[in-house]
Copies of this chain bind each other. A is one copy, B any other.
Amino acid sequence: MSTAAADLLRTIVGRKVYDLEQPRLAGMPIHPAHKPGYVYQLHRRHKDGYDPRRSGPRSSASGILVMMEHTGTHIDALSHQAADLHLYGGIEVTPQVETPKGFTVHGIETMAPIVTRGVLLDVCALKGKDPLPPHYRITASDLEAAARLTGVTVRPGDALLVRTGYGTVWGDETLYLSAAGVSREGSEWAAEHRVQCAGCDNMTWDETEERDPATGGMLFAHLHLIARSGIPIVENLQLEELSRDRVSEFLFICTPLKLVGATGSPVRPIAIV
Contacts and interface: CB of A to CB of B under 8 A. Distances in A.
B260 A8 contact: no
Contact of A45 (B2, B60, B100): B100
Interface string A147-158: 000011000000
Contacts of A218: 55-56, 58
A129 interface: no
Interface of A: 1-2, 4-9, 11-13, 15, 17, 19, 21-26, 33-48, 50, 52-70, 72, 79-85, 93, 95, 98-103, 109, 112-113, 115-117, 151-152, 212, 214-219, 222-223, 227, 248-251, 253, 255-264, 266-270, 272-273
State how many copies of this chain the complex holds: 4
16 contacts: A8-B12, A9-B249, A17-B112, A21-B258, A33-B62, A46-B98, A54-B216, A56-B217, A56-B223, A57-B223, A58-B217, A59-B82, A60-B222, A63-B263, A65-B68, A65-B259
Contacts of A33: 44, 60, 62
A223 B115 CA distance: 35
B61 A82 contact: yes
A234 to B, nearest CB: 13
Contacts of A250: 5
Contacts of A212: 56
A202 to B, nearest CB: 17
A24 B101 contact: no
B19 A216 contact: no
Given A36-B39, A42-B263, A115-B270, A62 B80 contact: yes
